[in-house]
Chain A
Amino acid sequence: MSQINVRVDGVAYTDDVEPRTLLVHYLREQLGKVGTVIGCDTSNCGACTVHLDGAAVKSCTVLAVQADGGEVTTIEGLAQDGALHPMQKAFHEMHGLQCGFCTPGMIMASVDLLRENPNPSETEIREGIEGNLCRCTGYQNIVRAVQQAAGEMAGSASAREEVR
């Protein structure tokens, strides 16, 4: 067993894990954060995407011990004070999901994309979420949702600028 210290969705945890424990299993089974799901055995689907130290990663392809000392944000930590993150709201409003299984990963990857590229073109959005597979929507409404969120987040960013 190895001891890890990690902040997940703003809360500090100290836990013992086996070195072979994947981050996604730690999140789901030890912390009960089942919002992050597992969709494949091959690191392809992206359903397990979370942010580790600010960047989107596939939590099925990171060992929990590697997150020691780090900061993890899951889909469960995105809403602030009960208000959905603009990306969550946009997926809801633009019907960016059907069965919803890919959605946590899609949203986490999309938030990471906008962090680096706040105003992506349609092609850049499609490439930005190439690591996330959706078997239901055909991606069309997912792309629209990311576009809406980008617009809304740019708006609130410039509003914040004005307040300053």
Chain B
Amino acid sequence: MIPAAFEYARPTTVDEALQAIADGGEDVKILAGGQSLIPVMRLRLAAPETVVDLSRIEELRGVRDDGDALVIGAMTTHHDVLTDPLIAQHAPLIAAATETVADRQVRARGTFGGALAHADPAGDLPAVALALDAEFVIAGPGGRRTVPAADFFVDYLTTALEEGELLVEIRVPKLAGQWGMHYEKFNRVAQAWSIVAVAAVVRRDDGHIAEARIGLTNMGPTPLRARAAESALAGAEASAEAIAAAARSAAEGTSPSSDLNAQADYREHLAQVLTRRAVTAAAGL
């Protein structure tokens, strides 16, 4: 189907974009890669009055080193994330998860910021941002503010972004020490969304797990941290048995949905199995 008619703005700076959003009327939609927005507009599930296209704003694109953090521009495409040397060096978890997103055509257009702002519970990047304690830099009419990942994902398809605001960049703190990372995704066919997936970031110290951060994809309306499993792992021996025991608490405090792909109890089972696998791999065992 063809989208409903809309006004189109193509700003070239963040300030122009904020102005275009402010001038756009009642129902303004920001267009990043369009790989989620255009399909819903084609199905007429969204029929915005104005579409503000960010694709010509150069300052929103690319990855830079900012000392103790990597800064990823919201409009950096999935493809460019996959080939970026800074991400490969400091946050390979992001590349590992991005590799499982959709297919090469969608990755050529879809963006890191768009996937996070969309906040689909089955999307692969929100849980990764949560596990890496990323920070979201948001621009609005009143200036810029920074929101930690733990406060960014508010509800189903809902983030801390207010009307009139846009996501500018994502700051990913560099990790000091010996960290391993792994993304373990369960889906049944190619080019499919996660049924459940687990992002694990693990620091090993002298045969032990000093710290583990675990992000869960599709275990509730927002991405979640597996807090119980994280505490069970802190200080635990880096052994298959200790990891398996801790992973049994991975679904605690989650509220997965039941749908055509899986029932809630099966998702809970998957969260445990995938946490065991992800932590084992991240710990280098």
Q: How many residues of A contact B (CB 8 A)?
A: 32
Q: Does A56 lie within 8 Å of B2, measured CB to CB?
A: no
Name the one of A18, A43, A113, A131 contacting B38, with C-beta atoms under 8 angstroms: A43
Question: Known contacts being A19-B51, A46-B105, A49-B105, is A2 close to B38, with CB within 8 Å?
Answer: no
CB–CB A43/B39 < 8 A: yes
Across the interface, name the chain B residue whose C-beta is closest to A127. Answer: B190
Closest to B41 in A: A20
Complex CA gap A44/B103 in Å reads 9
A109 touches B2 (CB 8 A): no
Chain B residues, Cβ within 8 Å of A42: 39, 43
Contact A62 B191 (CB under 8 A): no
CB contacts (< 8 Å) of A21 on chain B: these are: 2
Of B6, B105, B108, which contacts A19 at CB under 8 A?
Answer: B6
Question: Are B38 and A130 in contact, CB atoms less than 8 angstroms apart?
Answer: no
A145 cross-chain contacts in B, Cβ below 8 A: none
- The answer to the question of B11 belonging to the interface, with a C-beta cut-off of 8 Å to chain A, is no
**Cβ-based interface call for B176 (8 A):** no
What's the least CB distance linking B132 to chain A, in Å? 25
Name, among A44, A63, A109, A127, the residue most crowded by chain B CB atoms within 10 Å (CB to CB).
Answer: A63
Q: Is A34 an interface residue (CB 8 A)?
A: no
Interface size class of B (residues with CB under 8 A): 20 to 34
When the two chains form their complex, are residues A41 and B79 in contact, meaning their CB atoms are under 8 A apart? no
- Bound together, the chains give a CA A142 to CA B115 distance in angstroms of 31
CB distance from A106 to the nearest CB of B (A): 12
Task: Report Cα–Cα, A56/B107, bound state, in Å.
Answer: 10
- Do A44 and B109 form a contact, CB below 8 Å, given A20-B6, A131-B104? no
Given A2-B8, A41-B42, A63-B38, A58 contacting B105 (CB threshold 8 A): yes
CB proximity of A71 to chain B, nearest CB, Å = 14
- Tell me, yes or no, whether A61 is within 8 Å of chain B by CB: yes
Q: A19-B8, A20-B2, A63-B34 are in contact. Are A56 and B190 (CB under 8 A)?
A: no
Closest CB in chain A relative to B1 CB, distance in Å: 6
Q: How close is A56's CB to chain B, nearest CB, in angstroms?
A: 5
Closest chain-A Cβ to B139's Cβ sits at a distance in Å of: 22
Task: Knowing A43-B39, A55-B79, A62-B109, say if A112 contacts B104 (CB, 8 Å).
Answer: yes
Bound together, the chains give a CA A56 to CA B102 distance in angstroms of 14
- Interface membership of A33, Cβ < 8 A: no
CB distance from B227 to the nearest CB of A (A): 34
A22 at the interface (CB under 8 A from B): yes
Apart from the given pairs A22-B42, A62-B109, A128-B104, 5 other A-B contacts in the complex at a CB distance below 8 Å: A19-B6, A21-B2, A57-B105, A65-B10, A66-B55
